[in-house]
A and B are shown apart, each in its own frame.
Chain A
Amino acid sequence: MREKLGQPAPPPEHDPVQGLAVVVGSRPVSAYTELTLEAPDIADVAQPGQFVAFAVGGPTSAMLLRRSIAIAGVGDGRFSVVVSARAAGSTWLAGLRPGDEVDVVGPLGRPFPLPAPGTPALLVGGGYGAAALVGLGGLLRSRGHEVAAVVGAGDEARLCSVDELTEVAAPFVVTTDDGSVGRQGRVTGPVAELVSGAGVVYACGPMPMLEAVAGLATDRGVPSWVAVEESMACGIGVCMTCVLPVVGADGRSRFARSCVEGPVFAGDRVRFRDVGTLPPDVVGADAMGVAHTPAIEGETP
């Protein structure tokens, strides 16, 4: 089992930078807002799978934590992100207008490793997670790979990056839970049909989707890369809030930071079932007195 595990994604080639980026575009994309920002020192070196971390609310904002969002596209010294306005911070971001400036750190995180030449790829996106796959899809196509894609969401309004992925992927399947567009149901149905034809699977979306997709790939012996969406306070690796249990190169599990050890992990290395718990075999769990952790006391009966 151990030798079959995927390798850790290599670290990025460039250090992150911090600075003010100018908003040059804002447009609604179904239920989301796509922002385009001028920041050549980020856009010119970013690789698919990486993300940026925004300060929100201005220099004296009472919201201190950065909002980390996947890079959806780059070009001409600009990068774009898809913002889902949910709480105060993301709503502030989504409300930025051309000409506004925002403090941003990036590019951050490990990019999607590229497959050997000729390897057919399957991209799987859930909700606005699909945006993180757009750059990858284009890069794979430009390198001559066959690219298939499945994109799903709860309903039509929460689908994302459909137009962009239509241009690079064939077959391209859309699913919605309510059947409002595309095939009704989850992405797992089409993924199960397409995975055998793929040499590698890339996925970004909610954790249960990543678990299901990685499981389907691993069961068929297909390597997979997943970009996880864990809550991050800093995005640069110092706060230790975005950890999840990941099997290391030595076969032992550790709490890995999804910002700097990820967000891209080999799909068979993430212990999805144990996310949000303290598994007793994680390195250093013994020092926590794990059998008596209050996290277990706090569980709903």
Chain B
Amino acid sequence: MQASIGGRPVVSPVLTASGCSSFGQELDPFFDLASIGAVVTKSVQLRPRSGRATPRMAETPSGMINSIGLQGPGIEGLLADELPWLAARGAQAFVSIAGSRTEDFAELAERLRGAPGVLGLEVNISCPNVESRGEVFACNPDASAEVLAAVRAAADPAHPVYAKLTPDVTDIVSVARACADAGANGLSMINTLLGLVIDTDTMRPVLGGVTGGLSGPAVRPVALRCVWQVHQALPNVPILGMGGIRTGLDALQFVLAGAGAVSVGTAVFNDPSAPARIHAELAEALGERGFGRLADAIGYAHRAPEESSGRHGR
């Protein structure tokens, strides 16, 4: 399936999702990492981060809640170990970057210029597990625009820059528009929703971080709604859709809502070969519906019924 990320061609519209596949190496025994669109890395920051204290996760109905806290090796470790391994494997890396200041994001983008095997950058302005939880950039259009403008200016011109948005806002379209106007080449949505689970034995919050990010199929309708709304408002801005995708038909929903590619996240914990399986299932689902090309299906659900008559009609 021909697909593209910010105009750059990829071999599959199915990618991993940031935070759910580490840096890809652990999935290598389960499928060919070069056969998916890209490995979206765990968000990297300037310095190594320990992440939060445990417990870091709790299972929820059709999902989970986590408070990992962006544990990672920092940009030095990414450049020294992870990106060369992925490049040697023939896999593309869509590098997720995170920071607590605009300058952090810009510096990370600068450091990633010319790095081997990098498809582009996903700018994580929406992690619910950073220190200043009340100050997630993606809750504010101006703050989001500032970060995206800085990253676009600092990044390798060949690297598409995607803004990763949070659904925990009143109007996601205004944030999406601000990012696009600031130079974002595309939008990734959605990040996790902020949630809470309480242990009824201890009668305390389960997570060491108290609150955490909700993911999995439980959030899929929210994610689809976000993709729908943003594609409706900004039909020419590429969208990387994610949030609870577990099957090819789940992925198809995102494409029909307006996503040009999708990321598979929490499903990997359940099925480590999910990205390759979902690629095959999506290809089959498109064929069964008469779509010769993925591009013909992107945003299809927005068309008026008379436009969608004939082979594709339902």
Which residues from chain A sit less than 8 Å from chain B, CB to CB? 15-18, 55, 62-66, 89, 103, 105, 230-231, 233-234, 236-244, 254-255, 260, 275-278, 282-290, 292-295, 297-298, 300
Interfacial chain A residues near B54, Cβ < 8 Å: 230-231, 241-244, 275-276
Which residues from chain B sit less than 8 Å from chain A, CB to CB? 20-22, 26-30, 42, 45, 47-57, 59, 61-64, 66, 68-69, 71-72, 74, 131, 204-205, 208-210, 216-217, 266-273
B62/A294 in contact, CB under 8 A:
no
A-B contact pairs, 5 of them (CB 8 A): A18-B272, A66-B269, A240-B42, A241-B55, A278-B50
A284/B48 in contact, CB under 8 A:
yes
- Residue among B51, B52, B204, B270 with the most chain A CB within 10 A? B270
When C-beta atoms are compared, the residue in chain A nearest to B73 turns out to be: A284
Interfacial chain B residues near A275, Cβ < 8 Å: 54
A287/B269 in contact, CB under 8 A:
no
Which secondary structure dominates where chain A touches chain B? loop
Interfacial chain B residues near A242, Cβ < 8 Å: 54
When chains A and B are docked, how far (Å) is the Cα of A230 from the Cα of B47? Answer: 27
- Residue among B51, B204, B268 with the most chain A CB within 10 A? B51
When chains A and B are docked, how far (Å) is the Cα of A244 from the Cα of B53? Answer: 8
Least CB distance, A87 to chain B, in whole angstroms:
9
Least CB distance, B249 to chain A, in whole angstroms:
12
Interfacial chain A residues near B20, Cβ < 8 Å: 238-239
B270/A288 in contact, CB under 8 A:
no
Q: Assuming A18-B273, A284-B48, is B53 touching A278 (CB within 8 A)? A: yes
When chains A and B are docked, how far (Å) is the Cα of A91 from the Cα of B71? Answer: 32
When C-beta atoms are compared, the residue in chain B nearest to A254 turns out to be: B50
When chains A and B are docked, how far (Å) is the Cα of A86 from the Cα of B50? Answer: 31
Q: Assuming A289-B131, A293-B53, is B63 touching A236 (CB within 8 A)? A: no
Interfacial chain B residues near A64, Cβ < 8 Å: 59, 62-64, 216-217, 266-267, 269-270
When chains A and B are docked, how far (Å) is the Cα of A66 from the Cα of B74? Answer: 28
Which secondary structure dominates where chain B touches chain A? loop
Of the residues A17, A240, A294, contact of B56 by C-beta under 8 Å: A240
When chains A and B are docked, how far (Å) is the Cα of A282 from the Cα of B134? Answer: 26
Of the residues B62, B209, B269, contact of A233 by C-beta under 8 Å: B269
B22/A240 in contact, CB under 8 A:
yes
Interfacial chain A residues near B216, Cβ < 8 Å: 64
B53/A234 in contact, CB under 8 A:
no
When C-beta atoms are compared, the residue in chain A nearest to B268 turns out to be: A238
Q: Assuming A234-B272, A287-B45, is B71 touching A240 (CB within 8 A)? A: yes
When chains A and B are docked, how far (Å) is the Cα of A230 from the Cα of B204? Answer: 19
Interfacial chain B residues near A276, Cβ < 8 Å: 53-55, 208
B49/A63 in contact, CB under 8 A:
no
Q: Assuming A233-B269, A288-B69, A289-B131, is B51 touching A240 (CB within 8 A)? A: yes
B269/A240 in contact, CB under 8 A:
no
B204/A55 in contact, CB under 8 A:
no
- Residue among A17, A284, A293 with the most chain B CB within 10 A? A284
When chains A and B are docked, how far (Å) is the Cα of A18 from the Cα of B274? Answer: 11
When C-beta atoms are compared, the residue in chain A nearest to B269 turns out to be: A234
Interfacial chain A residues near B268, Cβ < 8 Å: 234, 238
A295/B209 in contact, CB under 8 A:
yes
Least CB distance, B68 to chain A, in whole angstroms:
5
Q: Assuming A64-B269, A230-B54, A276-B54, is B29 touching A238 (CB within 8 A)? A: no
Interfacial chain A residues near B22, Cβ < 8 Å: 237-238, 240
